Amino acid sequence: MFIVESYAVAVFFCIITMLCWGSWANTQKLVHGKWRFELFYWDYVIGIFLVSLLGAFTLGSYGEQGRSFVPDLLQATSSNIGSAFIGGIVFNLANILLTAAIAIAGMSVAFPVGIGIALVWGVLMNYFLVARGNPMLLFIGVLLVTVAIILNAMAYRAAAAQKKKAGAKGIILSVIAGVLMSFFYRFIAVAMDLNNFVDPEPGKMTPYTAFVIFAGGILVSNILFNTVMMKRPLEGERLSYADYFKGGWQVHAVGLLGGAIWAIGNLFNLIAAGKAGPAISYGLGQGATLVAAIWGVWVWKEFKNSSSYITRLLAGMFVCFVIGLALIIISGGS
């Protein structure tokens, strides 16, 4: 299987993760107003699962190093399989709430608040799982990201007041999604041998196998979670399964593309975790908050015609994010 051999390559893979995780939501924005997010989400989840299988049977099965996908799956213990599967369930609940928050509040709010919280708590938990990197630089970087989250929340609150509309629902959903999102990576990391992808510990899984099980947890749990969201939507009328089949191939393709983009980022992140460590690889990947905020502010114009006060808050947010992510990168090489 393909294995990352250097820290520099691992960082590059995490940057790809950051771009993918920060950009997939653009696919939802493309169909916003034409296709409900609950219906979009079915295709999104299918896209994730298909890419996980593609990665397992290609990069995860060819090469002279490590165990290939099928033998690795057959030797994995039930506890490790269960851990990766639970990680998929936790992620799916968090992500479906995040997707709802994007539909309500926009990318430039849902991502910095939701994924920013996930970054802070996730980095701390994953660092104590495998302590790798300079802790002082890592935690200062996380602190700056926290400041960026606060500045973004202040900007959104001010913008909502300026437009004379309540923004509490979008913020609340983003916070809940972020707290849940901070836990999923630990479940999947525990299922892998992060210290040795070449000759993994018996019973542990390679990142390719763990990702397939993780994606299976997402797919299975979606039957429950998304059905509840359809029957008791946060906004709009109730939906039925028949509504899903009323969409044309274009809207289904957009959902599949969104899932594929996120899945590619996740696969690259797990591959990089063996060299960079789970805290740094997860933290850099969740720099997606910065990418999503850029899309939301400059492409989708979610803060168009805002006051100079809001503009300053957003500028401060971007500065804190950039410096914080830079420190997280440097901490791994220290």
Q: What is the pLDDT of residues 318-328, one digit of tens each?
A: 999 889 888 98
- Percentage of the chain beyond pLDDT 70 is 96
- Spatial separation of the C-alpha atoms in residues 24 and 263, rounded to whole Å: 9
For the ranges 50-59, 139-148, 241-250, the lowest mean pLDDT is seen at: 139-148
Nearest to 259 by CA among 51, 15, 39: 51
What confidence score (pLDDT) does residue 28 get? 86
Phi, psi at 132, each rounded to 5°? -135, 130
Cβ burial, residue 6 (10 Å; 0-12/13-18/19+): exposed
Residue 17, helix vs strand vs coil: helix
Per residue in 222-267, pLDDT (tens digit) is: 999 999 999 998 878 999 999 999 999 999 999 999 999 999 999 9
N residues, the chain: 334
More confident site: 48 or 277: 48
Contact 151, 140 (CB under 8 A): no
Q: Which amino acid is at 31?
A: V
What confidence score (pLDDT) does residue 162 get? 65
* pLDDT over 80 at 102, yes or no: no
Domain ranges of the chain: 7-332
144 Cβ contact list (under 8 Å, min separation 6)? 320, 321, 323, 324, 327
What confidence score (pLDDT) does residue 163 get? 60
Contact 262, 184 (CB under 8 A): no
Tell me which residue has tokens 């039957």: 223
Categorize the per-residue pLDDT at 166 as very low, low, confident or very high, splitting at 50, 70 and 90.
Answer: very low
What pTM was estimated for this model as a whole? 0.85
CA atoms in the 13 A half-sphere facing the CB of 77: 12
Plot region of 305 (φ>0 → left; ψ -120 to 50 → alpha; else → beta): left
Contact 120, 282 (CB under 8 A): no
What confidence score (pLDDT) does residue 168 get? 75
Residue 257, helix vs strand vs coil: helix
More confident site: 295 or 260: 260
